[in-house]
């Protein structure tokens, strides 16, 4: 999925991420990852104040059974399709900047539905452009967004979520158009 040269996260000569179960087949790892993160997502999430450390704790919670680096920022450059994400040396400062933005905007609380959707889309687009973790960004983003929306009084109905539409909206947001993402969030919150 990711394009990374001589990726120290992978078993040599493969694109399979080193994992706690020692699985060297991509399919087996995918099944293991899905099962483990699903089980963890059924448990109560770590408490926190919607901060950067809270975000890391959520990634750690979901991926702790699979990767030793759960909850830790990546150390290599990664890209998906045309999108080259934040360089690793800038991740900590960019994450700090983004969560300071969220705090300054009072965690998007006390906003009307459309204003919430717009703010949440901006936050999500920025978070995705940073892509702080080697893997598991999408699931952590969605978990955090669900929490943020709930606390802001605009709970999301995830049954309505269309993964392909979200992917297209995320790609558009990387190119600077956050409107499609805002429309999706508004629809999920309606
Ligand atoms: N070409 C792209 N440009 C920008 N963002 C992308 C692109 N392809 C995928 N994404 C976004 O990257 C995130 C997925 O990142 P990652 O693969 O680290 O997470 P994951 O949880 O392992 O995967 P998934 O979300 O597919 O379950 C999603 O938010 C997705 O929308």
From atom 28 of ligand 1, which residue's Cα is the shortest distance away? 138
What is the share, in percent, of the chain residues with pLDDT greater than 70? 97
Overall pTM surpassing 0.90 (yes/no): yes
Residue 80 Cα: closest atom of ligand 1: 1
Check: complex ipTM more than 0.85 = yes
What is the share, in percent, of the chain residues with pLDDT greater than 90? 96
What's the pLDDT at 4?
47
What residues line ligand 1, using a CB cutoff of 6 Å?
80-81, 83, 128, 135-139, 141, 167, 170-171, 174
Res. 2: pLDDT tops 60: no
Which residue from 66, 144, 167, 172 has its CB within 8 A of the most atoms of ligand 1, so it is best to mutate? 167
> Which domain, by its residues, includes 123?
3-189
- For 93, counting Cβ atoms within 10 Å of its Cβ (0-12 exposed, 13-18 middle, 19+ buried), the class is exposed
What's the pLDDT at 37?
98
What's the pLDDT at 3?
53
Residue 169 Cα: closest atom of ligand 1: 31
Count of domains in the chain?
1
Which residue from 128, 130, 177 has its CB within 8 A of the most atoms of ligand 1, so it is best to mutate? 128
What is the CATH number for 122? 1.10.3290.10
pLDDT per residue as tens digits for the range 149-165: 999 999 999 999 999 99
Question: Three-state SS for 42?
Answer: coil
What is d(CA 21, CA 141) in angstroms, rounded to the nearest whole number? 25
- Kindly report the backbone phi and psi dihedral angles of residue 79, in degrees, each rounded to the nearest multiple of 5, phi listed first: -140, 160
Residue 166 Cα: closest atom of ligand 1: 31
Query: Which of 40, 105, 27 minimizes the C-alpha distance to 66?
Result: 40
DSSP secondary structure string for all residues of 102-148 = HHHTGGG-S--HHHHHHHHHHHHHHHHHH--SSS-HHHHHHHHHHHH
Res. 50: pLDDT tops 90: yes
From atom 31 of ligand 1, which residue's Cα is the shortest distance away? 167
Res. 1: pLDDT tops 60: no
pLDDT per residue as tens digits for the range 128-137: 999 999 999 9
Q: How far apart are the CA of 131 and the centre of ligand 1, in A?
A: 8
From atom 14 of ligand 1, which residue's Cα is the shortest distance away? 138
């Amino acid at each position: 999925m990711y394009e990374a040269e001589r990726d120290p996260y992978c078993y040599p000569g493969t694109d399979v991420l080193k994992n706690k179960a020692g699985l060297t087949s991509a399919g087996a790892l995918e099944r293991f990852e899905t099962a483990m993160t699903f089980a963890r997502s059924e448990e109560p999430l770590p408490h926190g104040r919607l901060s950067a450390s809270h975000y890391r704790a959520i990634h750690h919670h979901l991926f702790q059974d699979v990767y030793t680096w759960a909850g830790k920022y990546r150390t290599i450059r990664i890209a998906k399709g045309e999108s080259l994400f934040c360089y690793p040396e800038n991740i900590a400062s960019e994450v700090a900047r983004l969560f300071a933005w969220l705090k300054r905007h009072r965690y998007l609380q006390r906003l009307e539905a459309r204003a919430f959707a717009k703010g949440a889309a901006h936050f999500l687009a920025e978070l995705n452009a940073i892509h702080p973790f080697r893997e598991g960004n999408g699931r952590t983003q969605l978990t955090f967004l669900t929490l943020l929306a709930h606390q802001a009084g605009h709970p999301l109905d995830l049954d309505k979520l269309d993964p392909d539409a979200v992917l297209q909206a995320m790609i558009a947001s990387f190119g600077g158009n956050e409107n499609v993402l805002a429309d999706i969030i508004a629809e999920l919150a309606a």
